[in-house]
Chain A
Amino acid sequence: MKILILSQLTKLFGPLRALDAVDLEVAAGERVALLGHNGAGKSTLMKIVLGILDGNGGTVQVAGHRPGERVAREMTAYLPENVAFHPALTGREQIRLYLRLKGEPAAKAAELLERVGLTAAMDRRIGTYSKGMRQRVGLAQALIGRPKLMVLDEPTSGLDPVSRHDFYTVLDDLAREGTAILHSSHALTEVEARTDRIAILSRGRLVANDTLAALRQAAQLPIQIHLVARHGEADAVAAQLGGTRRNGSRVELTCQPAAKLASLSAITGLGSAIEDVDVIPPSLEALYTFYSQGSAQ
């Protein structure tokens, strides 16, 4: 079931087209990563989905409702980039307030804060929290009331690797329970393993929207093959395979995806001259650059 449907969504800031006819859908239980440079329109798109900004054209539906409508807000959770809270309140007081604003019993606060690992600090003022701890409070409030749609803007910026891991574990649980998750990120490597689909925004236009495998397939970016040659044979190996010698034993070559197997059999043909082989598919960074530059041309 589609939870979020954007159709031809357009937003103008004066002469600037912040969003230009964007079509995007997120189904229940699906995790979609929204990638883009700063100013590509990610936050604008999210704010329109949340109903705090109005679009200039196109439509947005949250489970059949207009964003900003009460029903839509009740089923949507949001974690803004660099989430901020009243520094004078404690974590527990802040979550109690948010629970009551969502019409849930305030007593659930302790349980939510435990889920994000803030039990020890929940009665301290948020003013004393680190950025990572504030982000956890942000996640705790986003978990209120089993949201159908979760919108996360750069949710893991400022988190240490362990916190990031915990964070994605919580998101995995939510997705399993059927929450549609739309999140933006700069940390491309972590998005790679944790999403079902990748949507790339560039200058307000959606330039890619597919699974990582399909995007790789469509981009046809060259594959890197890294070889370790036996001592003294690097030059010969490089000459035979048409690669480049990087140091005494290391040789690098690139090939098109279609030629991958042919290259590998040529390498095996060299027998004992080769000590090790690594095949490196195009990185998400390369894909991202490919798709966002493609739109600029």
Chain B
Amino acid sequence: MSRLLAAAAAEFRIALRNRWVAIAITMMVLFAAVLSAAGTAPTGDLGVDRLTITVASLTSLGVYLVPLIALLMSFDAIAGEQERGTLALVLTYPVQRWQLVAAKFLAHLAILALAVVCGYGVATIAAFAVDPRSLAGLAALFRLTWTSLLLGAAFLGLGYTVSALSRRSGTAAALVIALWLVMIVLFDLALLAGVVADNGGVFTTRIFPLALLANPADAFRLFNLAASEATSAAAGIGGAANAIPPLQALLSLTLWAIAAFLAAIAAFRRVQS
């Protein structure tokens, strides 16, 4: 355990010095601030507090940014070390491979937590400044925060897996960008196209909800929107949230996080340096 923590501390220090911590926090804060500024218009008679609305917007922000930051931090983790030649030496030490993956995971998750807390924090302060009733939204905010970390964990694991399989840092970078595009952007677009073409048939009623559950990003969005009362405030795919029990979405997200971590360890075990 002390070996794992020592390696995690070193990883965190490296990320700090390589400005990854600063980059992640800046990205989250900047986008959250822009989102808050854009949403300061009076909510009129929606009847919900400001923070609940903010959480709905932050959910849409998180679904793009959290996986992106997680993948950007993780793609280099194994391929980069292999390429720079630092991996061969570490592998001769009496430390298990899963411990090395777990150390990187802990450090990167801590950075992600910092970024998420800072970003969501800025948006929360802005919400309280406009609407004192925002206390009512705190539970939703809390839920959004820890599920964001769960979502981040899933994509960190996927990033390590890609990194271990690609051997070269450049290849890994291209692959994680492709992965992000497919899982976060194209997946939803394809589903949407399917729903439109299907016009209320079997695809819409049977396949569409399952497909949403199968994607960790959609599961994340579903869980947060369904669990909060903000569904009406959210646009797009959120409407489908009503059809799926939130617990199933949470289960899918958790399974993704665990499976991705295990996949990363399995892929790293195969690396011969």
Contacts and interface: CB of A to CB of B under 8 A. Distances in A.
B95 A88 contact: no
A100 B3 contact: yes
A235 interface: no
A78 B94 CA distance: 12
B89 interface: yes
Given A84-B86, A93-B10, A101 B91 contact: no
A52 B94 CA distance: 12
A89 B7 CA distance: 12
A116 to B, nearest CB: 16
Interface in B111-155: none
Interface stretch (B11-19, B211-219, B260-268): B11-19
Given A89-B13, A97-B6, A101-B6, A51 B92 contact: yes
Nearest to B19: A88
A74 B89 contact: no
A184 B94 CA distance: 23
A47 B89 CA distance: 10
A180 to B, nearest CB: 16
A51 B95 CA distance: 12
A281 to B, nearest CB: 38
Interface in A98-112: 98, 100-103, 106
B13 A101 contact: no
B95 A101 contact: yes
Contact of B272 (A53, A73, A98): A53
Interface string B1-29: 01100110010011001100000000000
Contact of B18 (A54, A88, A93): A88
A80 interface: yes
A83 interface: yes
A103 B6 CA distance: 10
B88 A52 contact: yes
B85 interface: yes
B89 A97 contact: no
Contact of B92 (A52, A82, A89, A100): A52
B86 to A, nearest CB: 5
B207 interface: no
B19 to A, nearest CB: 10
A292 interface: no
A88 B2 contact: no
Contacts of B91: 50, 52
Among B2, B7, B86: residue with most chain A CB under 10 A: B86
A181 to B, nearest CB: 15
Given A97-B6, A97-B10, A54 B84 contact: no
B88 A47 contact: yes
B205 interface: no
Contacts of B90: 101
Interface in A212-260: none
A229 B142 CA distance: 96
Given A84-B85, A100-B3, A70 B94 contact: yes
Nearest to A125: B17
B273 interface: yes
B273 A100 contact: no
B272 A100 contact: no
Given A52-B272, A89-B10, A89-B13, A102 B86 contact: no
Interface of B: 2-3, 6-7, 10, 13-14, 17-18, 84-86, 88-95, 272-273
Given A80-B85, A80-B89, 15 more contacts: A52-B92, A52-B272, A53-B272, A70-B94, A84-B85, A84-B89, A86-B14, A88-B13, A88-B18, A89-B13, A101-B3, A101-B93, A101-B95, A125-B17, A141-B89
8 contacts: A50-B91, A53-B273, A80-B88, A80-B89, A83-B89, A97-B6, A98-B93, A106-B6
10 tightest A-B contacts by CB? A100-B6, A84-B85, A88-B17, A73-B94, A78-B92, A101-B93, A74-B94, A97-B10, A50-B92, A52-B91
